[in-house]
């Protein structure tokens, strides 16, 4: 699967963005946001079909490229 590196870069960028937002808000809200973000990321990384559906939404041209 040569494209997995691109996928992890996209997911990593989204995680960094969400963590930066979490740091920007009040500390308590930041911890809540971080926990929710980690929960979502764990679900995404545990379920390949979820990754594919998320990426198909984020990268609408991917299905045309792969087919």
Please give the C-alpha separations between residue 63 and each of 8, 39, 46, 58, in angstroms, as whole numbers: 18, 27, 22, 11
The CB density around residue 27, as the number of other CB atoms within 10 Å, is 9
pLDDT tens track, the chain, 67 positions = 456 677 777 777 887 877 777 666 666 666 777 787 777 777 766 666 666 666 666 655 544 444 4
26 touches 16 (CB < 8 A): no
**Taking the model in full, what pTM does it have?**
0.29
């Amino acid at each position: 699967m040569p494209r997995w590196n691109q996928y992890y870069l996209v997911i990593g960028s989204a995680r960094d963005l969400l963590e930066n937002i979490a740091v920007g808000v009040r500390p308590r809200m930041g911890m809540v946001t971080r926990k929710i973000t980690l929960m979502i990321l764990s679900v995404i990384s545990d379920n390949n079909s979820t990754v594919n559906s998320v990426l198909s939404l984020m990268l609408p041209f991917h299905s045309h490229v792969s087919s």
